[in-house]
Amino acid sequence: MNKKHYLSGKIILVTGGTGTFGRAFVSKLLSVKDVKKVIVLSRDEYKQSEMRREFTDKRLNFFLGDVRDYLRLKRAFVGVDVVVHAAALKQVPATEYNPLEAVKTNISGTQNVVDAALDCCVDKVLLVSSDKAVEPVNLYGATKLVAERLIVASNAYRGEKGRTKFSVVRYGNVIGSRGSVIELVERQRPGGVITLTDDRMTRFWIHINDVMNIVMNILEVMEGGEIFIPKMKSLKVVDVLTALAPECKIDVIGIRPGEKLHETLITKHEVLRTKDLNMMFVILPEFVSWASKNIFSKKKPFPNNSIYNSGNADFLLHKKEAKNILKI
């Protein structure tokens, strides 16, 4: 007999549900026949209307609302079992130019999600974070770092009967997502020249389908306070561009403000609390007074002398592997 998925019979709400992650996750959720209801909460009515046409499953519901509005969130969370918090302002130049807007959405919005989830006795809340939150060099990364800390620390409150559990998933570049390198290549390819900020640059890469599988697994096993990181390989961005558009010339234009040469997913400070769960890593919380049990403590530790950095030779693939990673 097949084991029932944790989400069977559950009501799941996705904030920012009309974005790249949200659309893919809604599709994944609706593929689980025993999921009771899926709710998309976002502020873009046009994108919601597009999703209504795309998805005809009667279990899918829509809420117009903004994570900045606590009362709207509290209304939307009534009866909800699981919240996946993906709503965020993400464009680095836009958030640098409009910093307070990023703070309101990414930080205050996350606090509103926490408060509404506690007040409505939601079972589990999972924040979708980013590699930019690790040792941030731009405002977007800084806001996601604060959002991660808010989510982890909120386990100290736990809600009625110690019920609500809060965790984080943190990952790198999603292949094919809106605004990705692949989208940039497709726009520039007809001109025969692809721009690159620095030919030493490396990034972690993951397919959206792999993200979906990881998130489904996390929702089943999370105990609260953990930061989960998928296992990913990295590539030089120049190798990615060459694989995608071998006929094009690459024009190196110089690194942009707020951009790193390499991305880190687990810092040297987090390594000591990191365990290997086969398909992903998990960073255990520093403060565990709220934890009912620590089911990951005896898992294999992350190598203490290593850092999960895209420039680390342990994770960096040869350019010949680019096509396999990109699946082209």
Question: Which residues are identified as catalytic?
Answer: 132
Three-state secondary-structure class, residue 86? coil
State the CB neighbour count (10 A cutoff) for residue 120. Answer: 19
Q: Quote the CA–CA distance of 74 and 220 in Å, as a whole number.
A: 24
Residue 295 identity (one-letter amino acid): I
87 forms beta bridges with: none
E-only strand ranges, the chain: 11-15, 37-42, 60-64, 82-85, 124-128, 165-169, 173-175, 193-196, 202-207, 227-230, 233-236, 249-252, 264-266, 274-276, 280-283, 300-301, 308-309
Q: Quote the CA–CA distance of 4 and 23 in Å, as a whole number.
A: 24
Closest CA to 90 of 261, 258, 311: 258
121 Rama sector, left if φ>0, alpha if ψ -120 to 50, beta otherwise: left
Give every CB contact of residue 327 below 8 A, 6+ residues apart in sequence. Answer: 175, 207
Three-state secondary-structure class, residue 185? helix
Query: Which tokens go with 187?
Result: 């726009």
Distance from the Cα of residue 311 to its chain's centroid: 21
State the CB neighbour count (10 A cutoff) for residue 180. Answer: 15
